Amino acid sequence: MIDLKLDITGVKKFIAIESLNTFQSEIDSHYKTLLMHTGRGNDFLGWLNTPSKMPEALMRKIKIDAEAIREMAEILVVIGIGGSYLGARAVIEALGPNFPDLSRGIENKYPRVIFAGNNISEDYLAELLGILDKKEYALAVISKSGTTTEPAIAFRILRKHIEQKYGKETARKRIFAITDKSRGALKKLATDEGYTTYDIPDDVGGRYSVLTPVGLLPIAAAGFDIIKLVKGALQMEESFAATSSLDKNPAALYAVTRNALYRAGKPVEIMVNYLPTLNYFTEWWKQLYGESDGKQNRGIFPAGVTYTSDLHSMGQYIQEGLRVIFETVLMIDESKHELRIPMDNDDLDGLNFIAGKRLGDVNYIASQGTTLAHIDGGVPNIRITLPVLNENTLGQLIYFYEAACALSGYLLEVNPFDQPGVEAYKKNMFALLGKPGFEAESTILKGRLGLE
């Protein structure tokens, strides 16, 4: 039994709901292709059964190492980029407090998880080193190859720092490497230095890796229940595997609905949330769908907003701008806390009409009013609802989006598991930095930039 609910009544003004049934045969074909591993990118389908095939021994090892990290470190620095950090950060921030640096309290027994290697900002890394000078810390470096530029630079710098701070022998015990099981620069270094290691499955791409050690070790170290997270994903896996019927498979229905809107002239999808702690879940979703869909000059462009704050910035464009967008609203029924609006004798702000109401109820009503306004303004709305936000429901949501993404990519007739376009900027950067073997490209690019 899954808790996630999908409501597509907000699109019926723009496409006939009955017309979605015409996609059933198409989705049946792609669903079969996906489950039988016969479609494009079939060598990267390990995520499909990650929850059901999760080894108990691996979960025990992660929990033991997470406890060791808690005992030795105030800070865990997770080094990675893209899927190597976004999934973990999405879960940690979704489940954690809004003010993690200020509301430590009993959470002091868990390390603060900080992320590095996802940018090349000199100031960011220099300031992080200044913090680590004064704190006990450990490193989790995540990379299949060990040569991806951003995390490789960060690890080179942080490895030097941790070795200087603790000495090489002690530093080894504070470094955890999540990498390829048999090859690559990071694997070799980890073996030579004796780091604790975890394997990234060969058949799981980075943006689908949150339910592997890539995401599970940082999430466990931060104090969250990875068993419940995986169990939630397993519930969605079993539900997804049971049928391809659009009436009973919400992931298939979501994939079909977004593609029907795309074919109807809506190529931009805006993920909407109403909780600031979901900002990085939106970032994870953006990477998942952006890298999976955006190929061959086609695909739905993923964007994200947090309401109601962004109603006072992006709201104007969404209401009255170019009519090429649709929204997918992620709602959580029950808040973690209860806070009511007080009565004020003067009522200068005119808000006594909502005095006594829970703030969460006002937030929900704001979502309903916004949805109606945007539909009236020409913006279709899909709504996804969870009863509460916890490890179990978040596990369901993660698997739901992964499965829907795969089907959506097949509906777009692209390979949803590769990312060939990501290499273009790297080649230019290497050439401009003077990497050996890129001399000819360097001359051409510098000429284009007016540097020679």
Active site (catalytic) residues: 291, 312, 426
For 323-344, give the DSSP string. S-EEEEEEEESS-SS--BPPP-
How far apart (Å, rounded) are the C-alpha atoms in residues 411 and 281? 24
In the chain, count of helices (H) and strands (E)?
A: 16, 10
Contacts of 439 (CB under 8 A, 6+ apart): none
Strand pairing report for 5-7 and 381-386: antiparallel
- Please count the CA atoms within 13 angstroms of the CA of 2 that sit on its side-chain side: 28
Assess contact for 308 and 272: CB atoms under 8 A. Answer: no
The residue whose two tokens read 């397993």 is: 234
Closest CA to 284 of 115, 127, 120: 115
How far apart (Å, rounded) are the C-alpha atoms in residues 298 and 198? 36
C-alpha gyration radius of the chain: 23
How far apart (Å, rounded) are the C-alpha atoms in residues 213 and 172? 19
Closest CA to 30 of 356, 425, 450, 408: 408
Instruction: Name the strand (E) or helix (H) holding 22.
Output: none
Assess contact for 330 and 363: CB atoms under 8 A. Answer: no
391-411 helix and 86-95 helix, angle to the nearest 10 degrees = 140
Q: Where would I find the beta strands (DSSP E) of 353-425?
A: 381-386
- For 141, phi then psi, to 5°, come to -105, 130
